[in-house]
Amino acid sequence: MDINQKLYELRNTINYHNEKYYDLSDPEISDTKYDLLMQELKQIEKEYPELVTFDSPTQRVGGSAKREGGVKVQHKVPMLSLQDVFNKEDIYQFVNDMQSQFENPEFVVEQKIDGLSIAIRYENGDLSVATTRGDGITEGDDVTENIKVIKDVKGKLKEKVPYLEVRGEVYMTSKAFEAVNEQQELLGKQQFANPRNCASGTILQLDPNVARERNLSLFIFNIQDIEGMAFETHIQGYEFLKQQGIKVIENYSLCRTADEVWDAIVKIGENRGSLDYEIDGAVVKLNNLSYRETVGSTSKVPRWAVAYKYPPEEKETILLDIETSVGRTGRLTPTAVFKKISLCGTSVTRATLHNQDNIDNLDIRIGDTIVVFKSGEIIPKIKNVVIEKRTIESLLNNVSYKLPSACPVCGKKTVREEDTADLKCINPNCPAQLEKLIINFVGRQAMDIKGFGESFVVELIRKKYIKDIADIYSLFKYRDELVERSILGKEKNTDKLLENIDKSKANEAHKLLTGLGIPNIGKAAAKEILKHFKSIIELQYATVDELKQVSDIGDASAESIRSFFDDLNNQEIIRRLNEYGVNLNSSQNSNTDKRLSGKIFVITGTLPTMDRNQATQLIESFGGKVTNSVSKKTDYVVAGENAGSKLTDAQNLNKQILSEKELVDLLS
């Protein structure tokens, strides 16, 4: 078979099984067979490096391609910023200046996307390098691998242009941004302040898997350099890019007078509220490219373009109510509800108040006149209270709004998290937190039930099949009903998931303890606890003093455990788990050989026969500890294929490096 045909078929086969595994949760081949396909592809690409493509499974998500931090790319064309202007007079002055220098100049007016500026180079029609703005003059960061996984990025042009460099803006849609922040909350991580910060942080991190998962977008707004052809105008360049399949700025206007330019700016401003992404202004630029060369640039900005920044739009309204919702992590979020107003072309009736500290700073009370604004952002915010318009009732009340001391969903006590402004419901069985609890329970860090994706969790909770953790193990009773309603997919997929649920009953008890969602008790603490107690049943009756005898378990963790098992609902859940045959007994103290006690390991790369969890369990069974990063305290680094930067760190620190076989030999 022709080698190109062989590569084509191999890549298609691997991509097909990737989709079946990740998207449909319905793998058709074993992990071993999949690994063999990948190894065959890697071997061929190693022998024929000139045939490696950027979209090969070995290069994209699911493969091994990750960029190294700190790699710089020299700019061939400076990535200058734009001169900002803030009023109509400045726009007319710019247009008049250009008209005084050139005969009948044309102007392109387009949206100014609020994102991260990127330059992308194509050589002979193929994407070669992508770089951030960096210092704008000399160099930027190499972000090629992260750019390649953005759906809007064209990897290959339709024409084999010798060299093309384009400049664009990486951004996030409102929907993508909300999804990322929801996931951040689910994982207990800090949420991003706005879409721009999220897009920027995502592009600059090292793992292209993260960039793809966060669903970034891209608009191109300029041709920086091109060889083999020339254009007279900016719009001609856009038309060429669109022919190549490249996504350019939408809804631009071609104008000839200052009035037309201003009208186009006003129109963009009026419509920005209907966009599904953020803009922070409008750009006005000369259309004729030879005119641009004539006027040139300063050391900081081009003279042939300006960026108009819209003033923040704000309006007064009346605060009708403050609603409190409970998120997946138990965090209480107050939301202001006010009389409908129109901002940036959209009707607005609600704005988040974030937390009690923000409420206190605003001194906000129901019935107050408030000022709501949008400053180039999608999400409305409350600027201030108009004190002079405060009602007599509000003045007599003399107290700003206070968040409830009891959870509005389950009625249990709320507490303020230490060192934060967040008020939380700490009841793990609160219905508002059930999604997070179940997703954590079935996830890799806990019971690791394969194929039990987030969408299934949400649907099963919504359809009332799952009301607590123990209900997961009663799903087999509804097998025919689940198949008929296609809640878990077709018959094959449903049976596979039910089989995986049944298999999880045999898991180590520390996995179950991790999944119970007890505050302050993660994977490491759960393992340590069940080295001291024979079972979760025994743990259920341990006193606070007994719990504090466990390494790394302090007052707060011990109180959390005791509080969890004192709850009658939780006692019933443990009883039902035991009834369904879920393993509650610890086997961690079966190995008395603790030769690795005090030794710290790091595992990196793909091992030949063990996955990372298996290697970790092996090391920990002999008393060792596994951490995520290499430091001076690290004793051994276990390295497999595609070990990456952790192996480099180990070599630089002169740490002992072991293969999988050498690790096994060490313990034999």
Which active-site residues does the annotation give? 112
**Cβ 586 vs Cβ 530: under 8 Å:** yes
In angstroms, the CA 550 to CA 135 distance is: 52
Token pair listed for 229: 């052809």
First to last CA, the chain: 46
DSSP code per residue over 233-271: BHHHHHHHHHHTT--B-SS-EEE-SHHHHHHHHHHHHHH
3-state secondary structure at position 318: strand
Whole-angstrom CA distances from 425 to 14, 522, 573, 623 are 45, 18, 20, 36
DSSP code per residue over 486-542: TSSSSHHHHHHHHHHHHHGGGS-HHHHHHHT--TT--HHHHHHHTTTSSBHHHHHT-
What is the sign, positive or negative, of the torsion defined by CA atoms of 416, 418, 421, 426? negative
3-state secondary structure at position 429: coil
Whole-angstrom CA distances from 650 to 161, 179, 625, 632 are 43, 36, 17, 9
In angstroms, the CA 551 to CA 553 distance is: 6
Instruction: Choose among 636, 647, 534, 555: nearest CA to 595.
Output: 636
Token pair listed for 154: 């064209």
In angstroms, the CA 292 to CA 285 distance is: 9
